[in-house]
Amino acid sequence: MALDRGAFTLSLDFELIWGTLDVAGHGFATAVLFERRRIVRELLSLLDEFEIQATWCTVGHLFLDHCDGRHADMARPQHSWDRGDWYRHDPGGPENEDSLFLGRSLVKMIRDCPTPQEIGFHSFSHVIWGDEGCSPEVAVSEIRACVEAAAWLDHPPVSFVFPRNRVGHLDVLSKHGIRVFRGPGPRWYERDDNPGFLGRLAHLTEVCLAVGAPTVLPETQNGLVNLPGSMIYLPAHGIRRWVPVSRRVQRAVKGLEDAAARQRVMHLWFHPTNLADRYDDMMGGLREIFTRVRDLRRDGRLDVRTMGSFSQAA
C-alpha cells in the first residue's frame, strides 16, 4: 500500500497485570499500580499536548469495573495453552485504584482525552493466540468476550494487537469486526517465535548503537491489514536500564526521518508500564520523539495515524 506522505503510528499494549502474571506473578504489581495512578493520566496529557492520536489496544477484561467470574470457564487447564488459570487471581472488583485486573475507569479516561484516541483489543485475558494449543474455539471465546465487555464504547474496535506479538487465528478476527492488526517487525529476531539469547543480544545491540528503527508499509493478509511494528520503546529495567534513553530516542528519530523521506510508516509501540523505571527520563525521551513528530508534521512531511486509519486498505 503506497502512502502520499510518511506516517507515525503509536500503538500501546494496555494490559495492567494480565500480560505478566504468568511469568512474574504479582511481582510486577508495583509498576502496574504506578501505571494506574500516574502513567496513563500523564501519558494522555503528553499525547494531548502534541495532538497525537494513539491506538490503545486493551485487554478485554479491563473494560469491566467488576467481575463475577462467569467467564472463568474460558481459562481452564483442559486447554493446553492455559498458563496458570489466571482468573483465579482476579479479586473480582469492584474496581478501585489498587485494581490490577479491572480498568473501566482508565478506559474511560482514554476515551475522554481531548485529542481523540483509538481503542482496540489485546485479547480478553492475554491468551497467546499464536501458541499451538490455542484452539479456534478459545480464540472465538476471547474475541466475543472482548466485544461484549466493550459494548459500552461509542465505536466498536477495529484494531488488534496479539499478546506477545504471536499472530494466530486471523479468520476469527475478521469475522468479529477487526480490520487491522500489528504484526511482528521486519527484523529477523522479531519474526522468530523464539529468538533466544542471540535474538535478544541482537536487539539490545541495535538499541545501544542507536540503529535507526525500520519503517514499514501496511500489507493485506488474510483479508486484514497488517501494520507491522517498527520498534518497541524499550523499558529501562534489568540490564536495559544502563542503556541511555537517548539511544532509544535516536533510533526513533532516525526512523521518523526515514518514514518522511520515503513515504513509509514508523510504528512505535510499548506497554505503558515500560515507562515505570526511570520514569522522568523515559517520559522526557517520549517528549523528544513527539517534538520531532510535530516538526515533521508542520513541514507537511508526516501524518499521525492510528492503526484503524489503515483499515480502508483491507
Pairing of strands 118-121, 302-304: unpaired
Domains and CATH numbers, the chain: 6-313 (3.20.20.370)
Q: Which three cell numbers stand for residue 48?
A: 494531548
215 with 268: CB under 8 angstroms? no
pLDDT confidence bin for 81, thresholds 50/70/90 = very low
Three-state DSSP class for residue 19: coil
CA distance 75 to 90: 12
Q: Where do runs of H (alpha helix) occur along the chain?
A: 21-24, 29-34, 40-49, 104-111, 136-149, 170-174, 188-191, 196-208, 245-262, 279-298
Average pLDDT over residues 39-52: 98
pLDDT > 90 in the chain, percent: 74
Say whether pLDDT at 84 is over 50. Answer: no
User: How would you write 260-284 as a 3-class SS string?
Assistant: HHHCCEEEEEECHHHHCCCHHHHHH
Cβ atoms within 10 Å, residue 171: 13
Strand 265-270, strand 302-304: pairing? unpaired
Q: For the ranges 43-47, 98-102, 246-250, 258-262, which has the lowest average pLDDT?
A: 98-102
175 phi and psi angles, rounded to 5 deg: -80, -10
Task: Give residues with Cβ within 8 angstroms of 205, minimum separation 6.
Answer: none
Whether the per-residue pLDDT at 116 is higher than 70: the answer is yes
Residue tagged 497485570 (cell numbers): 17
241 vs 69 pLDDT, higher one: 241
Distance CA 253, CA 151 (A): 38
* Bigger pLDDT: 67 vs 215: 215
CA–CA distance, 242 with 231 (Å, rounded to integer): 19
Q: Which of 57, 1, 7, 55 is nearest to 261 (CA)?
A: 7
| pLDDT higher than 80, residue 131 | yes
Higher pLDDT, 54 or 93: 54
